[in-house]
Amino acid sequence: MKTNEYQKRFDGIAETFDDVIHFYTAQKRYESFDVRSDDILLEVGSATGNITKFIQNKDLICSDFSFEMCKKAKEKATEVVCCSAEYLPFRNAVFDKIICTEVIYYLSNPELFIKNSNNVLKENGTLFITSTNQEMVFVHKIRNFLRKIGVSKMYFDDGVRSFMDEKRVKLILQSNGFNIEKISKRVILPFKSMEKANKILEKTFSEKFGLIVTIKAAKL
Ligand SMILES: C[S@@+](CC[C@H](N)C(=O)[O-])C[C@H]1O[C@@H](n2cnc3c(N)ncnc32)[C@H](O)[C@@H]1O
């Protein structure tokens, strides 16, 4: 799907986005970042600020290419910039960390996003990218089916049919001035009541079945 089609879909869902997202997995995405309270942060593709709301940092800029999403994010965050992930309009070397969760698979040119991120990060700054685990794409298909039969909190049809190609993103990061520090997978069972079981399972071989992949990359 083309970039402007995604943009239209996200503009169209902005008003009710917080009603269709899955709170537990959103919270788990946030928990996969280690941010310090004094970090200067940029969130890319922040939607309504549904991840931002967990972040306490005073130096935080939210950004999204959907103007309607930006308007909603403004209810939760002070600084919101409407821009594409592929053209970040900030000075070089200003951010300690960049958070980009569930966005990379919408980008027509993820390399441009990674290059831009490298420019605006300070030396040794960190880029966090999360994506739904492509190997667990069948869960996404089950979710689409449940949505069709009217089960709530099953997201909306955003047009995406596949997620991040982990190997490709790793290569792009490594060839654009990043060192991969860690790749982790979380949320084996997508239920808040299974939190304890998830914490245990995530430390075992079942980690590979985690629904959320987080890449932590440091600017060299
Ligand atoms: C699935 S939502 C993720 C929201 C939030 N980050 C989270 O993890 O729940 C994807 C967001 O990325 C934004 N987005 C998609 N493509 C983008 C692009 N090229 N530039 C900036 N934002 C983009 C969409 O408008 C949408 O708000």
What averages of pLDDT result for each successive group of 10 residues across the chain (220 residues)?
91 94 90 92 96 88 98 94 98 98 96 98 97 89 87 83 93 98 92 90 89 96
DSSP code string of 19-69 = HHS-HHHHHHHHHT----TT--EEEES-TTTTTGGG---SSEEEEES-HHH
Q: What confidence score (pLDDT) does residue 145 get? A: 87
Q: What confidence score (pLDDT) does residue 1 get? A: 81
For residue 107, the CA-to-ligand 1 centroid distance in Å is: 9
Q: What confidence score (pLDDT) does residue 73 get? A: 96
CATH dotted code for 3-219:
3.40.50.150
Residues lining ligand 1, Cβ inside 6 A: 3, 6, 10, 26, 29, 45-47, 50-51, 64-66, 69, 84-86, 101-103, 106-107
Check: CB of residue 135 under 8 Å from CB of residue 196: no
For residue 50, the CA-to-ligand 1 centroid distance in Å is: 11
Residue boundaries of the structural domains of the chain: 3-219
Q: What confidence score (pLDDT) does residue 119 get? A: 98
Q: What confidence score (pLDDT) does residue 138 get? A: 85
Check: CB of residue 50 under 8 Å from CB of residue 18: yes
pTM: predicted TM-score of the whole model, two decimal places: 0.94
For residue 10, the CA-to-ligand 1 centroid distance in Å is: 8
Q: What confidence score (pLDDT) does residue 53 get? A: 87
Burial of 110 (0-12, 13-18, 19+ CB in 10 A): buried
For residue 103, the CA-to-ligand 1 centroid distance in Å is: 5
Ligand 1 atom at minimal distance to the Cα of residue 84: 20
Check: CB of residue 44 under 8 Å from CB of residue 99: yes
Q: What confidence score (pLDDT) does residue 170 get? A: 97
